[in-house]
Structure 1
Amino acid sequence: MHDHGVSLETLYQARRRIADKVVRTPLIRSAALSERFDAEILLKLETHQPTGAFKLRGAVNMLVALIERHGRGALAAGVVTASTGNHGRAVAYAASSLGIPAVICLSRLVPDNKVAAIEALGAETRRVGASQDEAFAEVERLVSEHGMTLVPPFDDPRIVAGQGTIGLELMEDCPDLDRVIVGLSGGGLLGGIGAAVKAIRPACRVTGVSLSHGAAMWESLEAGHPVAVDEVESLGDSLGGGIGLDNRCTLALVREVMDDHLQVSERAIATAMVDILQDEKLLVEGAAAVGLSAIEEHGLDVRGQRVALILSGNGVSLATLDRARALAGR
């Protein structure tokens, strides 16, 4: 067990906890991409989760772990988080399925349709301030004054272990996998998958893909400690945001399990989104397309290899897809 608190044992515990609430997603072969790159290109369809993204795994694992350890009464005041997208939806869904009250704090900038989607999953929403930071101040108030329990988006071993169950599934479905390519932001997804893969098949390469601008994990790994960066608008918006200046788990874990790290441009993300829709008839968000972006933009030589790409979520609007198509020139 390392100081990040994630081990093969905690991954298997997570799998047991989430089994009846989370989908064991398909790993499918892409005929078009396999032919194009002269490789076996496999797609892990986290888009099939009830909330449309992998985040549900971590949220369910954390809530069930809390109930197991402290009893349901400890969560009577409810759970709370701040998120504009996949994490907020995941917490709302997980809490509802377990009969626990949930509050999702959002800034006034979050579009009404996203707010409505979270409320439809049974959570209360609070519109606070004009930024994610101001929304998070409300989270901290609810924790300290009302005894609510914070469900962090990535920097917690229970969240990471939940996401890491994807890695266990990959190893079962393709034991001789050569490389897995994972979008990298806060590090919960890559850290979890990497922990599973490296424990079971150390020879498998774990490749992280970050945005070309505003990538906090990239800067933090370079600096050797957590660094704050300015967020920029991106088609891969789920890969924006910081890693937390008091990061306790994911920075150390990512450093341990990741073999190589690439950055991708907006045009590469746009092209990959359109390619996946065209070739696979799958609508994916920008953050879910970056594995393909990395192969295309960096000319990765994957010939003869078995490569898994994590299609992490489908939270994309038609307007964003139109933007991607325009940028890709398609």
Structure 2
Amino acid sequence: MKDQVVDIRDIFKARQTVSRNLKPTQLLRYESLSRLIGADIYIKHENHNPTASQKIRGAVNLAWELRRNGVTRIVTAANGASGLALACAARLFNMSALVVVPEKSPLSLTQPIQDQGAEVRASGIDFPESLRIARRMEENGDYYFVHPANEMQFIHGCATAALEMIEELPEADVAIGSVGMGGCIASTLAASSVLNPKLKVIGVQAESAPAAYLSWKTGALQRQESRTFSQELGMSKAFETPFSLYADSLADFVLLPEHRLYEGVALAAHHTRQMVDAAGGAPIMAAYLLRQKLRSKTVVLFMSSGVATADELEEAYTLSAFRSGKPEEL
């Protein structure tokens, strides 16, 4: 599949908007992780953003552009951090937001969105159906529909994280990020392809929700049932716009079984003292599994999300990796 072209000027323009509203996130080196993996390990702490995810960058850039063009009411669908990010950005720019979520969504998803002043409507048996319902609301003329993955201005905003990383650590050899909807990993590629073409970008996804991996592997958009516990990684399809950016550009793609996702959460707590979800911890686990290939390299792990549920943390923190700081050898 032919890559979609991103103009680097759009990313620098997005940084002007993002930097007016958000502070840069920390890029920290971790000695204990560096010893464990045998590489120089840095973490880009996107979990330190408001809403605890990288997606707030994209939401701020997108909402600002929509507001400038007269949009005052937006609707989207979400089963994770994108809904909260868009609700927060809408509030920032005095816009009304409606977020459609699957009918059995937990309070841990819906309450933070409502706390940002957005309306939450539980409709649809799963995320794809909620997405279709949200899109129909635009067709009725009530709202401007914001797709949670296929918005280039969202990707431009998310790319400001990679821009910060490349400027602060230009010697980085490898970057690893989680793939759910794909916008964050696509944004890293969008920035690095121009500013550091030698940077190898690696994606990591749940083995129980491998649609993006299968799409990358086959070169065509794929659907696959999601059975993972992770809200952020639990996509049953790959999305067109992010896929057009990572289809031919990822250096590698790692699939993690469920127990390895939990171990990633545990490792994040042990080594960085950060409370993150599976998407936030997965790059650590992927780096450990790739440690032979990463030896002596400078590696940046994007801790892109910290929206863990209580059940997720409880399961992860019972594992031996939480205390020992080392995954089980199978």
Q: Give the counterpart letter for 2:294 in structure 1.
A: V
Please report the RMSD computed on the Cα atoms of aligned residues, expressed in angstroms. 1.8
| 8 Å CA contact retained: 2:100, 2:122 | yes
For 1:146, which of 141, 150, 155 is the aligned residue? 141
Q: Which residue of 1 aligns with 2:325?
A: none
Q: Which residue of 2 aligns with 1:30?
A: 30
Cα shift readout 1:3-37 (whole Å, capped 9, x = no counterpart) = 62422111111111222222310001112111223
Q: Provide the rounded CA distance (Å) in 2 between the counterparts of 1:3 and 1:219.
A: 17
Cα shift readout 1:52-103 (whole Å, capped 9, x = no counterpart) = 11111111111212233x2x3xx13x00111122001001000000000000
| 1:271-310 correspondence to structure 2 within 5 Å | 271-310=263-302
| 1:86-125 correspondence to structure 2 within 5 Å | 86-125=81-120
| 8 Å CA contact retained: 1:294, 1:300 | no
Q: Provide the rounded CA distance (Å) in 2 between the counterparts of 1:214 and 1:272.
A: 17
1:214 corresponds to 2:209? yes
| 8 Å CA contact retained: 1:268, 1:297 | no
Q: Provide the rounded CA distance (Å) in 2 between the counterparts of 1:251 and 1:136.
A: 18
**Which portions of structure 1, spanning 4 or more consecutive aligned residues, are displaced by more than 4 angstroms?**
327-330
Q: Give 5+ residue unaligned stretches, structure 1.
A: none
1:239 corresponds to 2:233? yes
Cα shift readout 1:163-211 (whole Å, capped 9, x = no counterpart) = 1111100111101111101112322111111111121111111111121
| 8 Å CA contact retained: 1:270, 1:286 | yes
Paired residue secondary structure (1:257): coil
| 8 Å CA contact retained: 1:5, 1:157 | no
Alignment CA distance shift 1:275-1:219 (3 Å): same
Paired residue secondary structure (1:249): helix
Paired residue secondary structure (2:293): coil
Q: Which residue of 1 aligns with 2:172?
A: 177
Question: How big is the shift at 1:287?
Answer: 0.8
Question: How big is the shift at 1:49?
Answer: 0.8
| 8 Å CA contact retained: 1:183, 1:208 | yes
Q: Which residue of 1 aligns with 2:16?
A: 16
| 8 Å CA contact retained: 1:215, 1:229 | yes
Q: Provide the rounded CA distance (Å) in 2 between the counterparts of 1:262 and 1:288.
A: 15
| 8 Å CA contact retained: 1:177, 1:307 | yes
Q: Provide the rounded CA distance (Å) in 1 between the counterparts of 2:231 and 2:205.
A: 11
Paired residue secondary structure (1:185): coil
Question: How big is the shift at 1:213?
Answer: 2.3
Q: Provide the rounded CA distance (Å) in 2 between the counterparts of 1:6 and 1:156.
A: 12
Question: How big is the shift at 1:156?
Answer: 1.9
User: TM-score, normalised to structure 2's length?
Assistant: 0.91
Paired residue secondary structure (1:28): strand
Deviates more, 1:121-130 or 1:85-94: 121-130
Question: How big is the shift at 1:327?
Answer: 5.3
Cα shift readout 1:106-132 (whole Å, capped 9, x = no counterpart) = 122011232221111010111213222
Q: Which residue of 1 aligns with 2:309?
A: 317
1:48 corresponds to 2:48? yes
Alignment CA distance shift 1:298-1:306 (3 Å): closer
Q: Which residue of 2 aligns with 1:163?
A: 158
Paired residue secondary structure (2:150): coil
Cα shift readout 1:216-251 (whole Å, capped 9, x = no counterpart) = 1111122322111111123x431121445xx44221
Question: How big is the shift at 1:329?
Answer: 6.7
| 1:127-138 correspondence to structure 2 within 5 Å | 127-138=122-133
| 8 Å CA contact retained: 2:219, 2:247 | no
Q: Provide the rounded CA distance (Å) in 2 between the counterparts of 1:310 and 1:3.
A: 23
